[in-house]
Amino acid sequence: MVKNAKYIVLSVCAFPLIITLGAWLQLRSKPPQTIEQVERLINSELPSGASKPQVEAFLDTHGIIHSEYVDYEVARPDLETDLQNKKLKGKTHCIKHYIFASTPNRERMSAFRSDIQIMFYFDDADNLVDYVTKAVKDGP
């Protein structure tokens, strides 16, 4: 009888701790999961002209995987289609570097995996010129 009482008391005490831990895990920072969430987050936390360290800290804080800081000239052929984005119109001449970032897109349940890719473009003073987001579908 005493053994059962110990287990009951232990269970009653442990239950609130487990609930609190679960809530904490849900509320901790996790990557945004839709393009709209990504863009809203970037627009609210990264000012126009943000520095390279600010962008890297933003990505790290939100658990968004990203590349190193890359010289644009090295990857120019691979980025030509991205630079045709209307958001970058009139800004392409000052793009000198970029950071590529990616986070899972969980907007829809699907047989295909979909990632949200973000390209952050920087000028020669290492300030953010602009960014472009897009969803890219992979296989299952």
Apex 85 CA angle, 73 and 102, nearest 5: 70
**Mean local confidence (pLDDT), 110-137:** 86
Confidence of residue 110 (pLDDT cuts 50, 70, 90): low
* Helix (H/G/I), strand (E/B), else coil: 50: coil
Percent of the chain clearing pLDDT 70 (strictly above) = 61
**DSSP 3-state helix, strand, coil percentages of the chain (rounded to 5)?**
45, 25, 30
Q: What is the pLDDT of residues 28-73, one digit of tens each?
A: 445 557 888 899 999 999 998 999 999 999 999 998 999 999 887 7
Q: Kindly state the helix (H) or strand (E) to which residue 81 belongs, with its residue range.
A: helix 72-83
Q: Whole-model pTM?
A: 0.69
**Cα(26)–Cα(39) distance, integer angstroms:** 21
Number of H helices and E strands in the chain, helices first, is: 4, 5
Is 128 exposed, middle or buried, given 0-12, 13-18 or 19+ CB atoms closer than 10 A? buried
**Cα(50)–Cα(71) distance, integer angstroms:** 18
For residues 30-40, b (16+ Cβ closer than 10 Å) or e, as one string?
ebbeebebbee
**Cα(109)–Cα(105) distance, integer angstroms:** 10
Asked if the model's pLDDT at residue 126 lies above 80, the reply is yes
Domain-wise residue ranges, the chain:
1-30, 31-137
Confidence of residue 27 (pLDDT cuts 50, 70, 90): very low
Percent of the chain clearing pLDDT 90 (strictly above) = 37
